[in-house]
């Protein structure tokens, strides 16, 4: 007989199989997940909007026959609207906002049979790589509750790492899937640009920087979920090249002998912690032991140019969001306001020039992948830092934004180029903190990433690792 404790660290695929075999009912999975959230959330502050009554009603009704029928799931409180449920974007201004429709991604998640039991914590507007909004308070890392979960999908990552649910929604505009995955010891794949839909509310976000997907414990869950949600929506401005076959079929498939370049130097020139360098070197050796060709490379990316152009898009996007919402000074956090003010100083010509610059960087980066199948880097330049590291004092409101550049210099390049990338939880440091490694693939080629990820998962399993705070 399967007990609630047995369920806590089964992946979503295994939980769905229990439902299909009638060994567990959806309401039992949902009730067990709710019990875990209620027990752990006072410590972690990962779930900010419970949806328990709604989830129980859904679990007791007729569910679609999907790959994850009956499995509990959490939504990040940003972009993915669920009709009739609050969506704050981490802003005090929007704490009572209730959308009247489902986003297309949520439509597809429901069609897959997932049951949403709540919404997760995030920084205001998803701006920072930590999850410490004034509205909800800090989300805490289950590996060390004094440290960051990363961001902006930190609530989702903390919930999955602690065993509240097997996987949770996340999105990524500069690393917001991969950063919290690295901080919390999870698998986090950012798909190719436009692989998942952003409609009906968005065509693309910040000229294509943002991608939707999830954080998971297993590789197969990430692949199967992407199969369930991927594909163009009506009216999309563009979409990703269709895969040759379902992504789940890539999990366990032979990746062949891959050509993998690895780099430990941040293209922006910021220092990289020895633990992060060590993790990449070990990952490179593991890949070599698995039969792949591995060599150190110089990506030759002009970090200063990239950072400057990315900042134009990011700050202009923030300014546009604040203008659209009619925000006045004092209604958002000081950093958010100051970033928006920065964005207002750029003109239309500045935005077009920045976009052209980043498109040229994308072309240059694509040429690297004519010679290599994958690029291996640290996910982050540091292990998970202490909460408060990204605070911004009144006299320096952009301090946290600048600190973010030191923490996460490796992830934004894939948002710029649109390429798929994954953070893999292969290693931990001497303090037992997760240290992620990032693999970047060719545009449109998640297949190779899933093949290698499954190989790494088998060679160095992480499924049995448990943080100090867990179900």
Number of domains in the chain: 1
Note whether residue 465 is domain-resident: no
Instruction: Return the half-sphere exposure (C-beta side, CA atoms, 13 A cut-off) of residue 234.
Output: 3
| pLDDT above 60: residue 1 | no
> Which domain range does residue 108 map to?
4-459
- Average per-residue pLDDT in the chain? 97
Q: Please spell the DSSP secondary structure of 388-438, one letter per residue.
A: TTT---TT-TTHHHHHHHHH-SSSHHHHHH---EEEEEEEE-TTS-EEEEE
pLDDT category of residue 5 using cuts at 50, 70 and 90: low
Over range 258-280, report the average pLDDT. 98
Note whether residue 62 is domain-resident: yes
Over range 169-181, report the average pLDDT. 98
Q: Please spell the DSSP secondary structure of 49-89, one letter per residue.
A: EE-HHHHHHHHHSPPP--TTTT-EEEEESSS---TTS---T
In this predicted structure, which of 63-72, 118-127, 253-262, 299-308 has the lowest mean pLDDT? 299-308
Note whether residue 112 is domain-resident: yes
Task: Provide the 3-class DSSP secondary structure of residue 323.
Answer: helix
| pLDDT above 70: residue 104 | yes
CATH code of 153's domain: 3.90.1300.10
Closest CA to 369 of 299, 267, 418: 299
Residues 158 and 468: their CA atoms lie apart, in Å, by 12
Note whether residue 176 is domain-resident: yes
Q: What is the structure's pLDDT at 320?
A: 97
Based on the residue annotation, tell me whether 362 is a catalytic residue of this protein. no
**Per-residue tokens: 225:** 């979920």
The tens digit of pLDDT for each residue in 375-416 reads: 999 999 999 999 999 999 999 999 999 999 999 999 999 999
The tens digit of pLDDT for each residue in 193-245 reads: 999 999 999 999 999 999 999 999 999 999 999 999 999 999 999 999 999 99
- The pTM of the full predicted model, rounded to 2 decimals, is 0.98
Note whether residue 471 is domain-resident: no
Over range 265-275, report the average pLDDT. 97
CB 200 within 8 A of CB 83: no
- Residue 468 backbone phi and psi in degrees, to 5: -55, -35
Choosing from 88, 103, 153, 176, the catalytic residue is 176
Based on the residue annotation, tell me whether 430 is a catalytic residue of this protein. no
Based on the residue annotation, tell me whether 176 is a catalytic residue of this protein. yes
Q: What is the structure's pLDDT at 316?
A: 97
Note whether residue 467 is domain-resident: no
Torsion sign across C-alpha atoms 415, 263, 311, 75 = positive
Choosing from 76, 110, 119, 190, the catalytic residue is 76
Burial class (CB in 10 A: 0-12, 13-18, 19+), 378: buried
| pLDDT above 70: residue 23 | yes
Choosing from 88, 103, 152, 392, the catalytic residue is 152
Over range 145-171, report the average pLDDT. 98
Q: What is the structure's pLDDT at 389?
A: 98
Please provide the distance, in angstroms rounded to a whole number, between the alpha carbons at the two ends of the chain: 19
Residues 131 and 154: their CA atoms lie apart, in Å, by 5
Closest CA to 213 of 470, 414, 408, 58: 414
- Percent pLDDT > 90 in the chain is 98
Note whether residue 255 is domain-resident: yes
Note whether residue 470 is domain-resident: no
Residues with Cβ within 8 Å of 24's Cβ and at least 6 positions away in sequence, in order, are: 2, 7, 15, 18, 70
């Amino acid at each position: 007989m399967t007990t609630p404790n047995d369920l806590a660290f089964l992946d979503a695929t295994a939980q769905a199989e229990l439902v299909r075999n009638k060994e567990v009912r959806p309401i039992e999975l949902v009730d067990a997940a709710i019990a875990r959230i209620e027990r752990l959330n006072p410590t972690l502050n990962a779930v900010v909007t419970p949806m328990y009554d709604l989830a129980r009603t859904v679990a007791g009704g007729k569910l679609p026959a999907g790959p994850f029928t009956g499995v509990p799931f959490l939504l990040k409180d940003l972009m993915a609207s669920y009709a009739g449920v609050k969506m704050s974007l981490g802003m005090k201004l929007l704490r009572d906002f209730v959308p009247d429709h489902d986003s297309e991604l949520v439509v597809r998640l429901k069609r897959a049979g997932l049951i949403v039991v709540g919404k997760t914590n995030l920084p205001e507007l998803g701006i920072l790589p930590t999850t410490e909004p004034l509205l909800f308070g800090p989300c805490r890392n289950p590996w060390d509750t004094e440290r960051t979960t990363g961001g902006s999908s930190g609530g989702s990552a903390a919930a999955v790492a602690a065993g509240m649910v097997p996987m949770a929604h996340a999105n990524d505009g500069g690393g917001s899937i991969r950063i919290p995955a690295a901080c919390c010891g999870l698998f986090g794949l950012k798909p190719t640009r436009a692989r998942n839909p952003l409609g009906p509310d968005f065509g693309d976000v910040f000229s294509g920087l943002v991608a939707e997907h999830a954080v998971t414990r297993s590789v197969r869950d990430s692949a199967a979920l992407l199969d369930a949600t991927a594909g163009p929506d009506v009216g999309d401005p563009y979409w990703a090249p269709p895969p040759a076959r379902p992504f789940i079929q890539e999990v366990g498939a032979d990746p062949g002998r891959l050509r993998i370049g690895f780099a430990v130097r941040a293209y922006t020139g910021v220092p990289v912690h020895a633990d992060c360098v060590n993790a990449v070197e070990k990952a490179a050796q593991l890949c070599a032991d698995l039969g792949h060709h591995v060599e150190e490379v110089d990506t030759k990316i002009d970090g200063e140019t990239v950072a400057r152009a990315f900042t134009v898009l990011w700050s202009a996007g923030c300014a546009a969001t604040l203008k659209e919402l009619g925000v006045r000074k004092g209604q958002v956090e000081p950093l958010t306001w100051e970033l928006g003010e920065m964005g207002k100083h750029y003109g239309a010509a500045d935005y077009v020039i920045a976009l052209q610059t980043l498109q040229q960087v994308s072309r240059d980066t694509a040429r690297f992948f004519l010679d290599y199948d994958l690029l291996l880097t640290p996910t982050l330049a540091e292990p998970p830092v202490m909460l408060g590291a990204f605070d911004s004092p009144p006299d320096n409101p952009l301090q946290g934004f600048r600190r973010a550049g030191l923490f996460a210099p490796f992830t934004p390049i894939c948002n710029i180029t649109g390429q798929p990338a994954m953070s893999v939880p292969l290693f931990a440091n001497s303090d037992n903190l997760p240290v992620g490694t990032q693999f970047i693939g060719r545009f449109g080629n998640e297949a190779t990433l899933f093949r290698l990820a499954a190989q790494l998962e088998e060679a160095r399993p992480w499924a049995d690792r448990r943080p100090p705070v867990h179900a």
